[in-house]
Structure 1
Amino acid sequence: MTLNRRTLCLAAMAALCNVPLARAADYPSRAITIVVPTPAGGASDSAARLVAASLSAAWGQPVVVVNRPGAGGAIAAQAVMDAPPDGYTLLWGLSAMAGLPLVQKGVPYKALSEFTPVANVVELGFALFVNRELPVQNFADLVAYGRSHPGQLHLATGTLGEYMLAERVLKAAGVQARRVPYKGGAQLMPDLISGQVQINFGPIAGGLQHAKAGKLRVLATALPQRSPLLPDVPTFAELGVSSGTLSFWNALFAPAATPPEVAARLSAAVARALQAPAVQEPLRASGTEPLGSTPQQLAEAVEAASTAWATFVRDYGIAQE
């Protein structure tokens, strides 16, 4: 049989059209890498490793967590943007990364929506932690101390989400603090415990063990109601302080142009992983709530986060640095 150029072109087009289905049908057939934008040992990293272990066991394929901290998540984002869109390199994205292009120059994406959404994975509960040597017993004491010592409090932030929460709460309370940025919670916690910095609005999962050991004090949480892990700690709402409405989620994204069938397969696998007691129990024990979502639901969460960040930047006069 003789094949002319038109026949060959049509055959090539048909083959290309079938690529996504072929990829989805045997996905995953090799190791998957999850790129985490925070250092090892923090709340987001710990959640990512729990989910990765569960996915690996279910698939019989390695799921490797690689930490690429720095630049607010831009380094990790760039690594995933440079990867082939086949579902084998994923970004463990933080909700605050939706605001990164608004506050930082040189970010490789204009909007987090440029990535392929896969699944919203967990939501982190946040709390206000302070150094034990700071002469405050509650939030009212902190406000009084901060007002009488303007600019002398050092605020540690490990992510942009922590920065947003701190700005909202402290400005509402009339307290000034000097921001000291870190690459993540695992780096800032030793300095918070030693007193090199005095306050942090961070994930409950990152500071809970230190608070229970008496190394830190917890003054309030940014939760809808009191946490069963911290029943004696009031919420900011109870204290009459607005902490905003943005949820602090961690989600999985793939590079742009990843086949939707692959994203859907991944999303379903994450939902199953989050049902496992070996994943649920340690997450909830650390103040982290398992979520699970469809790609479309994550896309909607990204849109909400982008809007919240645009409003925050406008209302608080945050300059791009």
Structure 2
Amino acid sequence: MSIFVRFFAAVGLLLAISCWSSKLMAADWPHRTVRLIAPVPAGSGSDFSARLFAERLSEQWGQPVVVENRPGADGVIGVSAFLNTEDDHTLLYAISAVFTLLPITHEKLPYDPVRDLVPICPTSDVVLAIAVTGKRSIRSLDDLVQTARAEPGKLNWSSSPGLPPFVVGGFLKNAKLELAFVPYRDLAPALQDLGEGRIDVFVHALSVTMPQVQSGRARLLAVASDARAPLVPDVPTVAEAGFPDLRMDGVVGLFGKRGIPHTLRDQIASAVSAVANDPAIRQRLAHVGQAAHPGTAAEFAALLDERRRSLADLAKAMNFKPTQ
């Protein structure tokens, strides 16, 4: 046998062993607690779906599935914590912005999302809403813009991390509107300040804002999705309100680390899709202004690529300067 024949035979054997090992790992996974790192505060929109999916996946896998919140720095803290773990039973449960937007808004990240994160599958769509404190008489987006023009520098706003600061911030800049941004690490004080009028405008998941709306302490102006939310059918979309540039998606999904076996990735995606297609899960998500979003790894990756290109084009049009 020539040296070339022996070489290629050895390569073939190694490939076969690698393929067999990946399938064996997938068949044996999970064999202990699965941890989902969520780079958002407890109680936020994607945190709700994370806990809902964790509950059902735990039943399906026969192993505990726990959610660990690691908020801060627009999601960078949570993503970094995920990438720094050596545990193959830890996954990242995050909004798409950590993959599509952070490379645009931050000049230097401690990681490369495209290189280091592997999209596994989408889970749900969080409906983002624009609300105003009940202390103000503002009743539409047009009212808000007119008030901001009449009272420059008098209004302020806050939001969830990710898309809202980028999209809304860009809109305000282009429209030459002066609204001070007030950052919050936790939701509770932000919601309290919205209800008491210390925050004028709040852009966050619909599910997060609804308690203040239902109590009359806040008012919804629009939802940022393509279609009206079944939970609040009388509230217009931003496009219907005349401000299509404020459209924002809230796609949430699971990510693995570079090197995750394809078989394991597909196995997890299949399990998640089964949960997302469950009518009871769909109903629970709809009740808080979310929608189930089953899909494959390939579909999720394609969606993220399209969103990343779209946001890059928007940043270029805005002449956006990333954070140093």
Same fold (TM over 0.5): yes
Q: Partners of 1:212 and 1:174 in 2: how far apart? A: 32
Q: Retained in 1: the 8 A contact 2:39–2:77?
A: yes
- Normalising to structure 1: TM-score of the pair? 0.90
Structure 2 counterpart of 1:94, one-letter code: I
Closer, same or farther in 2 for the Cα pair 1:185/1:117, shift >3 Å?
A: same
Q: Partners of 2:281 and 2:188 in 1: how far apart? A: 21
Deviation at 1:93, TM superposition (A): 2.0
User: Does structure 1 residue 233 correspond to structure 2 residue 240?
Assistant: no
The equivalent residue for 1:156 is 158
Question: Which string of whole-angstrom CA distances, capped at 9 and with x for unpartnered residues, describes residues 157-185 of structure 1?
Answer: 22121113323554565532111223464
The equivalent residue for 2:318 is 316
Q: Partners of 1:83 and 1:280 in 2: how far apart? A: 32
Q: Retained in 1: the 8 A contact 2:238–2:247?
A: no
Mean Cα deviation higher: 147-156 or 260-269: 147-156
User: Does structure 1 residue 276 correspond to structure 2 residue 269?
Assistant: no
Structure 1 counterpart of 2:167, one-letter code: L
Q: Retained in 2: the 8 A contact 1:95–1:161?
A: no
Q: Retained in 1: the 8 A contact 2:124–2:292?
A: yes
Q: Partners of 1:185 and 1:69 in 2: how far apart? A: 11
Mean Cα deviation higher: 131-140 or 27-36: 131-140
Deviation at 1:312, TM superposition (A): 2.2
SS, match of residue 200 in structure 1: strand
The equivalent residue for 1:36 is 38
The alignment yields a C-alpha RMSD, in angstroms, of 2.4
Question: Which string of whole-angstrom CA distances, capped at 9 and with x for unpartnered residues, describes residues 7-45 of structure 1?
Answer: 999988765453211101111111110000001111110
Q: Partners of 1:232 and 1:9 in 2: how far apart? A: 63
User: Does structure 1 residue 116 correspond to structure 2 residue 118?
Assistant: yes
Mean Cα deviation higher: 59-68 or 152-161: 152-161
Structure 1 stretches (4+) deviating beyond 4 angstroms? Answer: 6-17, 171-174, 184-187
Matched length: 315
Q: Partners of 1:10 and 1:316 in 2: how far apart? A: 51
Closer, same or farther in 2 for the Cα pair 1:77/1:107, shift >3 Å?
A: same
The equivalent residue for 1:218 is 220
Q: Partners of 1:295 and 1:246 in 2: how far apart? A: 22
Q: Retained in 2: the 8 A contact 1:131–1:195?
A: yes
User: Does structure 1 residue 243 correspond to structure 2 residue 235?
Assistant: no
Q: Retained in 2: the 8 A contact 1:185–1:202?
A: no
Structure 1 counterpart of 2:118, one-letter code: T
- Normalising to structure 2: TM-score of the pair? 0.89
The equivalent residue for 2:71 is 69
Closer, same or farther in 2 for the Cα pair 1:230/1:8, shift >3 Å?
A: closer
Q: Retained in 1: the 8 A contact 2:133–2:195?
A: yes
The equivalent residue for 1:3 is none
Q: Retained in 1: the 8 A contact 2:125–2:290?
A: yes
Q: Partners of 1:243 and 1:200 in 2: how far apart? A: 17
Q: Partners of 1:193 and 1:112 in 2: how far apart? A: 39
Gaps of 5+ in 2: 1-6
Structure 2 counterpart of 1:267, one-letter code: A
1:52-201 alignment to 2 at 5 Å?
52-84=54-86, 86=88, 88-97=89-98, 98-112=100-114, 114-171=116-173, 174-183=176-185, 185-186=187-188, 188-201=190-203
Gaps of 5+ in 1: 1-5
Q: Partners of 1:127 and 1:168 in 2: how far apart? A: 17
Q: Retained in 2: the 8 A contact 1:84–1:255?
A: no
2:292 is aligned, of 286, 290, 293, to 290
Closer, same or farther in 2 for the Cα pair 1:8/1:214, shift >3 Å?
A: same
The equivalent residue for 1:25 is 27
